[in-house]
Amino acid sequence: MTTSVVPVNSLARHIAPLKAALSADAARVIDSGHYVLGPGVAEFERTFAAYCGASDCIGVANGTDALELALKSVGVGVGSRVVVVANAAMYGTTAVLACGATPIFVDVDSEGALIEPTLLAEALATGDIKAVIVTHLYGRLAHIDQIVELCRSRGVAIVEDCAQAHGARSSGRAAGSFGDVAAFSFYPTKNLGALGDGGAIVTSSAEIGQRARQLRQYGWTAKYTNTHVGGRNSRLDEIQARMLLTMLPMLDGWNARRRDIANRYSNGIQNSGITVPAPADERYVAHLYVVHSDRRDALRAHLEGLGVQTDIHYPVPDHRQPCHQGAYDHIQLPVTEKLATTALTLPCFPELTDEEVERVIDACNQF
């Protein structure tokens, strides 16, 4: 008998129980006659802002637009210097470059692959840093308290990249509420995912919120009056907003299941050739469960042979991407570069069964 494959993710499983509700959402929008920036978007913006503990949310077309417009909303522009990590698939770096700004790459810690506060302090000490993108990678909150202290004392804007951290919390505060402004993605694989592209900017600053709202609509300060440089057409679809409203109340439950799976892996995988994350609390919503092995490729082949799908997040650091054509060859980020050769993502999504979790653990322990 052929053993079924344990998928690294399954959107079909995730959406199947919601099919009727989401279909009703789509029909509601179709019947309403409001298709762009309608009441669904307005309601989702209010609801998601409250969920994050912020006063404002601005729905945009995708997470990368959210990062770019968040940067612009705090004054990042041509010639600005923005601190960013290089281990998050170019999303932050792409947004920095889209602003005409210069990325200042800072290395990460070896435990969580999160921006290293000591190295961030060194970068800030060079002066003239306009903003820092704080990436909560894999669904784990960065060292946010230290980062806030470092940036506030120097007047440097904090842009949280929450694309993988919807619902991660520390001391009762949620991802997106710590910095000056935050960017979220609702790409279908995210912890809160739409059935297409979508994103949001979250802030508790009235000034930043107003600027972001204007930037998402061409930079208008009045209809057909383009005042702000760098504006674009970037709006969350009305249908996606309605679907996100339906799914948002389920997010914390999904996150709890993800965290339970991740912690079962961390406790159950006992193999000296595989480094697992430490068991985690609410600071981690297990968007991705990433282990490390110096024999990563052999481990991946082994797991595939036992019917366990894997992925690599992420194989090429930003400063080594071919599109830069050697512009950053002088930059050395030893931890980032090492982790890119050892990282391997195991299956971790809410609909994974207990039996599948045990299969993954057993397969890793057989390596």
Give the CA dihedral 344, 349, 354, 358, nearest 10 degrees.
Answer: 0
pLDDT digits (tens, 9 = 90+) for 212-250: 999 999 999 999 999 999 999 999 999 999 999 999 999
Q: Which two tokens stand for residue 250?
A: 């389920």
CATH fold match for the domains 12-249 and 250-365: no
CATH no. of 12-249: 3.40.640.10
Confidence at residue 3, expressed as pLDDT on a 0 to 100 scale? 78
- Given a cut of 70, whether residue 69 has pLDDT beyond it is yes
CATH 3.40.50.2000 fits 250-365, yes or no: no
Over the stretch 175-201, which tens digit does the pLDDT of each residue have? 999 999 999 999 999 999 999 999 999
What are the domain boundaries of the chain?
12-249, 250-365
Tell whether the model's pLDDT for residue 2 goes beyond 80.
no
Summarize pLDDT for 169-179 with one digit per residue, the tens: 999 999 999 99
Rounded distance, CA 128 to CA 117, Å? Answer: 18
Is residue 317 packed enough to be buried (19+ CB in 10 Å), middle (13-18) or exposed (0-12)? Answer: buried
Q: Are 302 and 285 in contact (CB under 8 A)?
A: no
237 beta partners? 36
Q: Is the pLDDT of residue 12 over 60?
A: yes
8 pLDDT band (50/70/90 cuts)?
A: very high
Q: How far is Cα of residue 167 from the mean position of the Cα atoms in its chain?
A: 11
At residue 1, the pLDDT reads: 43
Nearest to 230 by CA among 245, 218, 242: 218
% of the chain beyond a pLDDT of 70: 99
Does residue 307 carry a pLDDT above 60? yes
Strand bridging mode 81-84 / 131-135: parallel
Tokens matching residue 254: 């999904």
Q: What is the pLDDT of residues 101-124, one digit of tens each?
A: 999 999 999 999 999 999 999 999
**Helices then strands (H, E): number in the chain?**
13, 13
Nearest to 311 by CA among 268, 272, 354, 349: 349
| Per-residue exposure over 218-250, b if at least 16 CB sit within 10 Å of its own CB, e if not | bbbeeeeeeeeebbbebbbbbbbbbbbbebbee
